[in-house]
């Protein structure tokens, strides 16, 4: 992205009131940038997955948070939940077209985070007293 494109995007965001407390983007931002939301979107970025697969791949997520986050992303139209009427029922999760569009923008951010995480985490924590 060129500097002029970055400025025009920033101008548009500011004109649209993205920094205002009442901006609806805050709700969406909260849903898609939660720790578990981001990780589930990355997990679903290249294929459909079942509940158990997601639970195994996204290490550390509790069943409660998995259910809650998937419900929220489904309600937002970002994740599609498909129940197949077999016994036992099969439930598959995939990205909607809106979710796929979001992930194409999210993956570069995740790449930046992975590339810089070690250096950022290694920095001293200013809230801890130094010995």
Domains held by the chain: number: 1
Whether 105 is covered by a domain: the verdict is: yes
Which domain does 35 fall in, by range? Answer: 20-120
Whether 11 is covered by a domain: the verdict is: no
pLDDT tens by residue, 46-66: 999 999 999 999 999 999 999
Q: Residue 26 is part of a domain; what is its CATH number?
A: 1.10.10.10
pLDDT tens by residue, 90-113: 999 999 999 999 999 999 999 999
Whether 6 is covered by a domain: the verdict is: no
The lowest-confidence range among 29-33, 36-40, 91-95, 110-114 is 29-33
pLDDT band for 14, please (50, 70, 90 cuts).
Answer: confident
Whether 131 is covered by a domain: the verdict is: no
Helices then strands, each counted (H, E), the chain = 6, 3
Whether 93 is covered by a domain: the verdict is: yes
Whether 99 is covered by a domain: the verdict is: yes
Residues in the chain: 131
15, 25, 90, 102, 116 from 109: Cα distances, Å: 24, 18, 33, 11, 11
Q: Say if strands 49-50 and 79-84 run parallel, antiparallel, or are unpaired.
A: unpaired
pLDDT tens by residue, 71-87: 999 999 999 999 998 88
Q: Say if strands 49-50 and 90-95 run parallel, antiparallel, or are unpaired.
A: antiparallel
Is the pLDDT at 12 greater than 90, yes or no?
Answer: no
């Amino acid at each position: 992205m060129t500097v002029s494109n970055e400025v025009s995007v920033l101008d548009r965001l500011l004109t649209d009131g993205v920094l205002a407390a009442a901006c609806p983007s805050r709700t969406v931002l909260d849903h898609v940038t939660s720790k578990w939301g981001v990780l589930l979107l990355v997990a679903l970025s290249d294929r459909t997955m079942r509940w158990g697969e997601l639970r195994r791949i996204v290490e550390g997520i509790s069943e409660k948070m998995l259910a809650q986050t998937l419900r929220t992303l489904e309600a937002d139209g970002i994740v599609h939940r498909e129940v197949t009427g077999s016994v036992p029922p099969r439930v598959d999760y995939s990205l909607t077209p809106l979710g796929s569009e979001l992930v194409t923008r999210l993956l570069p951010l995740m790449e930046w985070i992975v590339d810089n995480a070690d250096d950022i985490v290694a920095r001293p924590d200013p809230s801890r007293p130094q010995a």
